[in-house]
Amino acid sequence: MRVVITGASRGIGRATALKLAADGAEALTLCDVAYLDELDALAANLRTSGCKVHTLRADMAKPNDPARVIAAAVKAMGGISGIVGNAGIAAPAKLVDLDVATWDRIFDINLRANWLLAKAAHPHLRKSKGAIVMLSSMAGVMPQLPTGAYSPAKAALIMLTEMMAMEWAPDGIRANSVCPGFVHTSMTDAIYAQPKLARARAKLVPLGRVAKPGDIADAIAFLLSPEASYITGQALVVDGGLSRSILNHTPGVAATPKGK
């Protein structure tokens, strides 16, 4: 397996690289726009397992960078069998307060970049009969306040991925999205550093805990793998049951008696 991962230095991207390398990936191309020291340290760690790792700085907000990433990956790895579109940003705001520049930047990075990445990778994925996994969000499945343009962009990413799945199925390319719920990453450390808030979030999740990046990486690795060879066009929500639990919090509903 030869895979490109964007936003790979931390969090879900980093966990995905570790998971794929542990599963025997032949080569990985890891890119990010920040935390490049951490990206290089990750690459050095992965190389000790025998995985060939190439790193590069890429800004997914720039329209030419996704194609540049793919070209570099093909040169470094000799081909591509999978891409993980993990790079993304959020800028919480009310829609009435959003400015056009912020709206465009959120869509450019969360949506346009993934289209351009997959578009550039298409001929190589067609050759390898490869797979695409795009990182959407639970906030792309249902509106979450006050995410501003983030929920709309992640919802659009789900549809973009489904379009890829349908259009490119005759080429042997699979495309799926993963929609994480609450995940404790370096970006959310400020939240989970508050014990009361961390417990409150975990209590909302039917499985009783907030996800680790590795939980999401496991789902990504599965969708890239041959075990998912008949799965395409799906948006896999990985949230511990949170998005299906709203009725469990309905005021006035009697609890089920014990033993029933």
Distance CA 179, CA 140 (A): 7
Pick the catalytic residue from 35, 150, 192, 230. Answer: 150
Which residues in 105-117 are b (16+ Cβ under 10 Å) and which e?
bbbbbbbbbbbbb
Residue with tokens 């973009």: 160
Helices then strands, each counted (H, E), the chain: 9, 7
Is 230 tagged catalytic?
no
Assess contact for 11 and 186: CB atoms under 8 A.
Answer: yes
Residue with tokens 């008696």: 257
Which residues are marked as active site? 150
